[in-house]
Amino acid sequence: MSQEKQSRVIAIIEDDIDIQDLLSAFLKPKGYTLVFFSSAEAALLELEENQKCDVIITDLQLPKMNGIEFIQKFNSMEKQVPIIVMTVTKSADVAIQAVKQGAYDFIVKPIHFPQLLLSIERALQLKTLKEDFQFLRSIIKKKDPSEGIIGRSQNFLNAISIAKKVAKSTANILVTGESGTGKELIAKLLHTESYRSKGPFVAINCSAIPENLLESELFGFAKGSFTGAVDKKIGLFEEAENGTIFLDEIGDLSLPMQAKILRVLQEKKIKRIGENQARMINARVVSATHKNLAEEISAGRFREDLFFRLNVIPIKIPPLRDRKEDIVPMAEYFLTRFALVNDSPVRAFSKDALEYLLDQKWKGNVRELENAIERAVVLTESTVIQVEDLYTEELRAVMANDKTATFDKNDFHIPFEHTLLPLHDVVQKYIEYAVMKNEGAKDKTAKELQIDRKTLYRKINPTENILIGFFPHWPRSTASSNSGMIRRRRSREMP
Ligand SMILES: Nc1ncnc2c1ncn2[C@@H]1O[C@H](COP(=O)(O)OP(=O)(O)OP(=O)(O)O)[C@@H](O)[C@H]1O
Ligand SMILES: [Mg+2]
């Protein structure tokens, strides 16, 4: 989590010009940036308002305000910068006094430079540790009941506010939304905000389990009820007693299974397989689906009566593309989380990276965004995530393998040729470049080129096959080969 030494700033408070020169001659070649002050008053003024620094070295004997007073005043600003004190006095009392006031270390003049360097390096380590500690503490402090649920868009906040309101009721709740929008997260929130929060939260993905197993998972079975039933098994409805059962992907249930669930909801009783005795259950049912259940009902695949039972209170989570305001805070949250988990020094996104995130379609919603950030945190070699770190494996592979592609992301050259190029070709080439530079983001490209979106579409039409190679979602109307198009472009570039 440490920064490079080159970027570290040392503020030096020393009224003796010769010592300033000596310190400068020794410390500058080590890569530190030095800022000198000849009085404690001047240093206080600048360090409070304008000048950032990582370590302070101060003389104790200064013209007006002395070093001890400086330490007291500076530390009251709570800037957390270590202070190293220099003095000609060898007296232990002075050293103790300085350290008591909050100095980090003490150096006696004439300065022993290797000792000073060691002290600076250790002070910097301490500062880094303190910063990391504060960073971790700020994350822990942020935790609240909806901990880890990030969003500031109005339509997402509406969904959260409904969830919080209805959490305390006994009504069944159906959470809908595309895959990866956070349905399970909301289901957990409904549980933690309910009176049942001390009880269990039991989740089952109805589409992931074969039909015959699903039944025994949900209802349990009696010993010997079928071959292999060597012992009784308690079903999930019973396990969720006094808590919440989350039936995920309820839209994928078969019709016979729907009938069984409907009976449970109506009677609030279950029967373990192989038993006649009905058992009362007390579990709150929250279900979720990415499917449009109204459509499923009209197609005869979902029972309308079950739908009404489950959907007493509906909560719809909008897809990420309809709540773009959530992208940046979520990305920052994931960055922080994955940086912590991976003990990575990554702390921020570049401006381009943030723009890239905002331009994506996020068909896989929050899950896709989360995965993209995790991959970037692991892959990046910088403390700031760059746009390239966010490219998908697919895009990387295309860029790495497509040797015929002449796209240079950072540069645009119009080649010098013996004969001049027709202006139309130059314009066309520049548009291709602009679209590719923006990773296919049409709105952004149109805005930057100051043309409207329709004009951009019209202009890129002849080049769309090049773009498909990089951006699979690009509209495709002709079937000519991608590489052929790129080759043609290239041959034109060769003088
Ligand atoms: N608002 C949010 N804040 C923080 N993380 C979120 C948010 N929404 C979703 N996530 C994260 O995104 C991932 C997907 O969320 P979740 O599993 O709840 O989605 P889902 O709608 O149930 O998806 P699926 O339909 O695929 O089951 C999870 O890791 C979840 O923690
Ligand atoms: Mg889910």
Q: Residues lining ligand 1, judged by CB closer than 6 Å?
A: 148-151, 177, 179-185, 248, 290, 330, 366-367, 370
Q: Domain residue spans in the chain?
A: 5-141, 154-318, 322-390, 423-493
Gyration radius from the chain CA atoms: 33
pLDDT of the residue at 401: 55
Which residue's CA is the closest to the ligand 1 atom numbered 25? 179
Dihedrals φ, ψ of 231, to 5°?
A: -140, 160
Q: Which atom of ligand 1 is nearest to the CA of 188?
A: 18
Calpha distance 319→368 (Å, rounded): 12
Topology (CATH) of 154-318:
Rossmann fold (3.40.50)
Alpha-carbon dihedral of residues 340, 345, 349, 351, nearest 10 degrees? Answer: 160
Q: How many CB atoms lie within 10 A of CB 133?
A: 11
In 3-state terms, the chain is what percent helix, strand and coil (to 5)? 50, 10, 35
CATH architecture of 322-390: Orthogonal Bundle (1.10)
Calpha distance 469→15 (Å, rounded): 65
Calpha distance 485→38 (Å, rounded): 67
Calpha distance 181→363 (Å, rounded): 10
Domains 5-141 and 154-318 share a fold: yes
Calpha distance 368→201 (Å, rounded): 25
Measured in Å, residue 250 CA sits from the centre of ligand 2 at 10
Calpha distance 196→366 (Å, rounded): 27
What residues are paired with 49 via a beta bridge?
Answer: none
pLDDT of the residue at 419: 58
211-219 and 255-267 helices, crossing angle to 10°: 10
The separation between CA 265 and the C-alpha centre of its own chain, rounded to angstroms, equals: 39
Measured in Å, residue 369 CA sits from the centre of ligand 1 at 10
Question: Right CATH number for 5-141 from 1.10.357.10, 3.90.1150.10, 3.40.50.2300, 1.20.210.10?
Answer: 3.40.50.2300
pLDDT of the residue at 225: 76
Per-residue pLDDT of the chain in tens (495 residues, 90 and over written 9) = 444 444 789 999 999 999 999 999 999 999 999 999 999 999 999 998 888 899 999 998 888 888 889 999 998 888 889 999 998 877 777 778 888 888 999 888 888 999 999 999 999 998 888 877 777 776 665 555 567 899 999 999 999 999 999 999 989 999 999 999 999 999 999 999 999 999 999 999 999 888 889 999 999 998 877 777 778 889 999 999 999 999 999 999 999 999 999 999 999 999 999 999 999 999 999 999 999 999 999 999 999 999 999 999 999 999 999 999 999 999 999 999 899 888 888 989 999 999 999 989 899 999 999 999 999 999 888 889 998 899 876 666 655 654 443 444 455 555 544 556 667 777 777 787 788 777 778 888 888 888 877 777 777 664 343 333 333 333 333 333 333 222 223 333 333
